[in-house]
Chain A
């Protein structure tokens, strides 16, 4: 078997093992799926009136793509925590003593977490539809938006995979990821229109991939605000392309780093 087919096969085996856990410990799934619902409802009803994105678009429509983006980015914490948890367990020694592809241990985790993201996107979309969010573009565009969300989430989960290998403690990961993810998601256009940021922060917001991901989704879902001033930053002009470039960069840097680090630990 070639190394690549071996890696793909082993990745699937590890992913399946992770997914079985969802079936055996359904409480995890409930916890993972309730927070997106809460976010949608909280922002829609608590802050819905307080923040005015401008004329012509309801705050809810403006908001839902941002919540999608934020939730899948936060979801990466789950990858880090899963890997950290595995690293403390004997099962890792088992994997290490097998003639399997060692990168499959991490690749299997990032793959199985795509399933979590699919589920949480589905449940958020449903909740969104209930509170008044609508897809105003074509279904194909909407599918592209969901695909972009999943691909971005996959890339971010490799960053957290590295963190999970470096910091093998679930509690630390949960706290550490807040430090990184909170600024990324809140200093973006996910919840607040770009115009309301002070100019010093605006460049960061414009080139923050969470912003471009959100922007791309708004465009693909048809949830943009025609009255809002368009940003003339290249990233915001080409949000989908820029987001994909970020995805590629993140994967190229973090996947090899995480795998190399994994191979080194405890050797």
Chain B
């Protein structure tokens, strides 16, 4: 039997009218990785701040590595490492000085703090920049330094709030590798993200949250199965061919649903066999003489999870939550989601 290293029960947090968390339960067994997946304003940061003793919940309870977040915050702090959504490093200190300071604040002797700092700088590809003030670091370097700061005392539990948001693809890969190294070393990890792909890559278990509540939980595969895996999206030249097109898609459907697109001529369906299914569909359309305008295979995104789970897209969802517009990084997130390859607009309406 494993001991649950992070447990949260019925977490509630209100900011005036806004209910940031509305009874969130979480369970991260020892040595596993849980991803908290949700759009802007879902409550991810709020949950992270409560679990790391930075914020007091209005209701519910939580414990980390056996220590109660409300009653033994000091104990919790001894056992966690946190890398928050915005980097928490001192810009005027060098990378090495930041890490040494944190080591000293953990009660390390000077020698040990210095050695640990060097070790982490080397491990995070920051050795060359270690003696430069952090304000000269790039976004990716900041992120890595921040994560290194979280790991100074080799905590058994690590919490990462959107560790790769704002990073370019190369830095993101680098960050993923670092995180996977942590996981191999047996660290219990809670991370938040807006990207299913990231959760997929890093997490054993995923909790999808929306409006402060878990709306789905499972492994990446289970969630994808719920969403329907990859989708074929098809635009036909002539609306009259629609029944034939639908039949062709239904033949390879993973579930039993063919979605209507925003126009008479667009359709989409979740498929199980990806490229193979695509070929089957194309062959059949050709045989039936259906003229195809556009066709593509697309992997499920957070949007699809949302579409399936809530009948709305994540973007539609994020906006009315309100109040977050001025919070940092928000514009950036939105931009990044827009960078996901465009697809024909699929309405949630379902045909059988």
- Residues on B with C-beta less than 8 A from A91 are 88-90
- Residues on A with C-beta less than 8 A from B82 are 93-94, 97
Whether A100 sits at the interface, judged by CB under 8 Å, is yes
A20 adjacent to B97 (CB under 8 Å): yes
- Residues on B with C-beta less than 8 A from A100 are 105-106
Whether A1 sits at the interface, judged by CB under 8 Å, is yes
Q: Specify which of B52, B74, B84, B107 is in contact with A90 (CB 8 Å cutoff).
A: B84
Q: Specify which of B56, B87, B105 is in contact with A98 (CB 8 Å cutoff).
A: B105
Can you list 5 pairs linking A and B with CB atoms under 8 Å apart? A96-B53, A99-B77, A99-B106, A266-B55, A267-B56
Whether B348 sits at the interface, judged by CB under 8 Å, is no
A98 adjacent to B106 (CB under 8 Å): yes
- The smallest C-beta distance from B93 to any residue of chain A, in angstroms, reads 6
Q: Specify which of A1, A13, A89, A94 is in contact with B149 (CB 8 Å cutoff).
A: A94
Q: Specify which of A25, A90, A99 is in contact with B89 (CB 8 Å cutoff).
A: A90
- Residues on B with C-beta less than 8 A from A95 are 105
- Residues on A with C-beta less than 8 A from B80 are 97
**Number of A-B contacts defined by CB within 8 Å:** 67
Contact residues of B: prevailing secondary structure: loop
Number of residues in B with C-beta < 8 Å to the partner? 27
Whether B324 sits at the interface, judged by CB under 8 Å, is no
A24 and B92 in contact, given A99-B77, A266-B55 (Cβ under 8 angstroms): yes
A90 and B105 in contact, given A97-B53, A266-B54 (Cβ under 8 angstroms): no
- Residues on A with C-beta less than 8 A from B53 are 96-97
Contact residues of A: prevailing secondary structure: helix
B89 adjacent to A98 (CB under 8 Å): no
- Residues on A with C-beta less than 8 A from B102 are 94, 98
- Residues on B with C-beta less than 8 A from A97 are 52-54, 77, 80, 82
Which chain B residues in 89-135 approach chain A with CB under 8 Å?
89-90, 92-93, 97, 101-102, 104-107, 133
Instruction: Give the distance in Å from the alpha carbon of A144 to the alpha carbon of B292 in the complex.
Output: 93
Whether A206 sits at the interface, judged by CB under 8 Å, is no
Interface residues of B (CB under 8 A from A): 52-56, 74, 77-78, 80, 82, 84, 86-90, 92-93, 97, 101-102, 104-107, 133, 149
Instruction: Give the distance in Å from the alpha carbon of A263 to the alpha carbon of B132 in the complex.
Output: 32
| Nearest 3 CB-CB pairings of A with B | A90-B88, A94-B88, A99-B77
- The smallest C-beta distance from A213 to any residue of chain B, in angstroms, reads 33
Instruction: Give the distance in Å from the alpha carbon of A171 to the alpha carbon of B93 in the complex.
Output: 24
Given contacts A24-B92, A266-B54, 17 further A-B contacts (CB under 8 A): A20-B92, A21-B92, A90-B86, A91-B90, A93-B54, A94-B102, A94-B149, A95-B105, A96-B53, A97-B52, A97-B54, A97-B82, A99-B78, A99-B106, A267-B54, A267-B55, A267-B56
Q: Specify which of B56, B74, B86 is in contact with A99 (CB 8 Å cutoff).
A: B74
- The smallest C-beta distance from A31 to any residue of chain B, in angstroms, reads 16
Whether A10 sits at the interface, judged by CB under 8 Å, is yes
Instruction: Give the distance in Å from the alpha carbon of A99 to the alpha carbon of B88 in the complex.
Output: 16
Instruction: Give the distance in Å from the alpha carbon of A17 to the alpha carbon of B104 in the complex.
Output: 11
Whether A6 sits at the interface, judged by CB under 8 Å, is yes
- The smallest C-beta distance from A90 to any residue of chain B, in angstroms, reads 4
- Residues on B with C-beta less than 8 A from A6 are 107
Instruction: Give the distance in Å from the alpha carbon of A110 to the alpha carbon of B149 in the complex.
Output: 25
Instruction: Give the distance in Å from the alpha carbon of A24 to the alpha carbon of B54 in the complex.
Output: 29
Which chain A residues in 215-267 approach chain B with CB under 8 Å?
266-267
- Residues on A with C-beta less than 8 A from B89 are 90-91, 94
Q: Closest A-chain residue to B105, C-beta based?
A: A100
